[in-house]
Amino acid sequence: MKPITQKYLVATDVGGTCTDTIVFSAGEPVRLGKALSTPPDFATGVLDSIRSAATPMGLSIKELLSQTQLFMHGSTVVDNAILTRGGSKVGLITTQGFEDTILITRGAYGRWGGLTEDRLKHPVKTDRARPLVEPDCIVGVAERVDYKGAVLLDLDVAAAERAIRTLVEERGVQAIAVSFLWSFYYPAHEQAIKALVARIAPHVYCTLSSDIAPTPGEYERTSTTVINAYAGQVSKSYIESLAELLKGNGYSGAVMIMQGYGGLLPAHEAADRAIGMLECGPAAGVIGSKALGALLQQPDVIATDMGGTTFKVSVIKDGEIEYAREPMVDRFHYAQPKIEVVSIGSGGGSIIGLESGSNAPTIGPRSAGSRPGPVCYGLGGEEPTLTDVFMLIGYMDPNVFLGGAMKLDRERARQVFEQKIAKPLGLSVEEAAFGVYRVAAAQITDLIREITVERGLDPRDFVLHAFGGSCGMVCGMFGAELNVKKIVIPYTASVNCAFGLVSADIVHEYSTTALLPAPSPAAAVNKIFEPMVAKALAGLADEGFRGEQVQLDWAVDLRYSRQVHEVTTQVRSSKPVTDAAVLQLVDDFEALYERKFGKGSAYREAGIEMTQFRLTARGLMERPQIAPLPAGGSDASAARMGRRPIFVEALGRMEESEIYDFERLAPDNVVVGPAVIHTPITTIVLQAGQRGTVDTYRNVVIDFN
């Protein structure tokens, strides 16, 4: 018997509507897989998606997985647990006298933080979000540490034991979050609580703020710890069961889990860091877009993703990814590094309604998901969605969805849309559908302007990357409105988050809180970084990364004295740092500060402080290179599938247009709009005056005439 060769990299990303897979191997074409997500048992959808990639390869799922050297995964399981309130019942143990910190949130800001724009129109009617931990499950325990880490009051162990028993035996909590004041300077009191929980209630999941968020910010640190406790058991159970399921289907390697900051962690580490999985799919998509931008020599990219539930956008400037200033999930802040991804509830599955009183069309934020899904799926959906609109305006073909694996019901979609939207508006089905499509495009345009123009960035300097299952049908509209340089719809468009997984590295984040004036002697800065560097190198060595496989990036949070606006600034020069490098760090901070808060806002005379020291340790993954295909001619006629009426914005009506089969398009083929290109995983619409060219990597590049 020939030995089994483990040659494949397999990455699977679970989204709200679809679960996507990508398979890489050196010297072989990229394989794509897609299947409907299967909540609450998402693992079934994972296997369905892997199977859909394996079948065209002539392999069973077991044959593919037995030849897989590394499996990478991203999932919405943590996001779903929080957004649907499906996590564990949580108890919070905190410093006595500070029990209301998590309930107060951030003062008045807590009343509207995380609300959509339409709800902010009526601030008097707003209120704080219902907390993830109920007030009667918050217990204060006597202990106190000061801001320098000195113990002012020893932990009352007897009171701590009573608190644990009260929460577990009387309140019935399934998880406990522990957040004491200044615990990141002196974690011993929190660690003592965890040891007590392990002895008294070993079945209860326990999270410490000194482990999960060792940073200043009393509310943010406590909120982060509560979120991790709330979703921790859900995350841990999911990761462990998925690993077992993969093992039962022939996989023998490590399972790597995507994190919201853009790196991968081994499953055994990720299992206890649920907070890291928040928005890990969108983060992977941005990593994928950055990798594609590097391949195509496009350092300035607006990365857009329109899937089944939301539309998301992120900005890559000079090849660098932006990170969120104040990460939030639902309406809760958390203190973890996260790639900045701004979103609105406009996805393919977003439900269309009419606003009470004005009858203006609304899109989302509610989504039909994968089940029952859009009306046209024929799975029981009875509320019209954007996908149904795409069907009604001619962009989708009922017979080619998911490569023909699922036939769509156009007539049922038309009936429901007419009854619930068109008739109340006094419009024909087509006119109402045109209007909804325009509203969706306008909302997307406004969102992109918000994170570009309003931050001093000109969209005309950027290339737009459009990925996700639905984005290709709208990007021609909003890309033209923004006057971007060009639009790229990646070959991996609808599975780009999965592509990002195989483009990511193993990444560990470390941080230490300390207060130093800036500039300070280089020796003082290096002394803070040295223990983190030693820990990082040892951890990566255990995972098999050494020498040139290791990359260490240093950064420091700086602020002006007496301010709270901290700016994370990369240490660009030598590491360990020199005195000159510290001066460069200060200069870089002021440049970043003015970029964020406006020219002239920097004021060195106020004094500058270094507050947080961060280390990002990367184990650089080997991944197969994408080989360009030989170029052909511009004639795309061999890929024509026929003609049908589609909505053309420039004409304001349906117009007979050319339809193309992507699988028959070759590099250098040119498609002139108005036209539709059907791929097995998405649909691309070119508006009038737009020209789409297939490049040598099978991306579709749209230029404007």
Query: DSSP 3-state assignment of 540?
Result: helix
Structure tokens at 678: 């059907």
Pick left, alpha or beta for residue 292 (phi over 0 → left; psi -120 to 50 → alpha; otherwise beta): alpha
Domain ranges of the chain: 8-81+237-277, 85-231, 509-619, 637-704
DSSP state of 319: T
- 211 HSE (CA, 13 A, CB side): 21
Preceding peptide of 372 cis, ω within 30°: yes
Which one of 2.60.40, 3.30.70, 3.40.50, 1.20.120 gives the CATH number of domain 85-231? 3.40.50
Contacts of 220 by beta carbon, 8 Å cutoff, 6+ apart: 213, 333, 334, 335
- 350 forms bridges with which residues in the sheet? 367
Strands (E), 298-426: 301-306, 311-317, 320-321, 328-329, 332-333, 342-344, 350-354, 361-367
CA distance 433 to 392: 7
CA distance 467 to 475: 9
Q: What is the mean pLDDT of each run of 10 residues along the chain (705 residues)?
A: 66 83 83 83 88 92 92 87 86 95 75 61 68 93 92 95 95 96 93 96 94 88 94 90 91 90 88 88 88 91 86 90 80 85 81 85 78 83 90 89 77 92 92 93 92 89 91 93 94 80 87 90 94 93 88 92 85 86 92 83 88 91 77 90 93 94 94 92 92 93 89
**Contact in structure between 103 and 135 (CB atoms under 8 Å):** yes
**Contact in structure between 159 and 141 (CB atoms under 8 Å):** yes
* pLDDT in the model for residue 672: 95
CA dist list (Å): 362 to 371, 389, 471? 21, 13, 19
Portion of the chain with pLDDT greater than 70, in percent: 95
DSSP state of 248: H
C-alpha 229 chain-centroid distance: 20
Contacts of 450 by beta carbon, 8 Å cutoff, 6+ apart: 342
CA angle centred on 252, ends 247 and 254, rounded to 5°: 100
C-alpha 148 chain-centroid distance: 36
Structure tokens at 226: 């509560």
CA distance 538 to 521: 27
Contacts of 405 by beta carbon, 8 Å cutoff, 6+ apart: 52
Structure tokens at 661: 């089969």
Q: Which amino acid is at 28?
A: E
Q: Decide: pTM greater than 0.75.
A: yes
* pLDDT in the model for residue 355: 85
Query: DSSP 3-state assignment of 642?
Result: strand
CA angle centred on 678, ends 674 and 682, rounded to 5°: 110
Tokens 């522990």 locate to: 178
Tokens 């490049």 locate to: 695
* pLDDT in the model for residue 4: 54
Structure tokens at 260: 């919201």
CATH architecture of 8-81+237-277: 2-Layer Sandwich (3.30)
Contacts of 158 by beta carbon, 8 Å cutoff, 6+ apart: none
CA distance 671 to 691: 6
**Contact in structure between 160 and 141 (CB atoms under 8 Å):** yes
CA distance 693 to 669: 6
The closest alpha carbon to 302, from 451, 448, 464, belongs to 464
**Contact in structure between 225 and 185 (CB atoms under 8 Å):** no
CA dist list (Å): 174 to 90, 229, 378, 494, 641? 6, 9, 39, 38, 57
* pLDDT in the model for residue 538: 92
**Contact in structure between 556 and 575 (CB atoms under 8 Å):** no
Q: Which residue intervals of 109-217 are DSSP H helices?
A: 109-112, 117-120, 157-165, 188-200, 209-212
Q: Which amino acid is at 339?
A: I
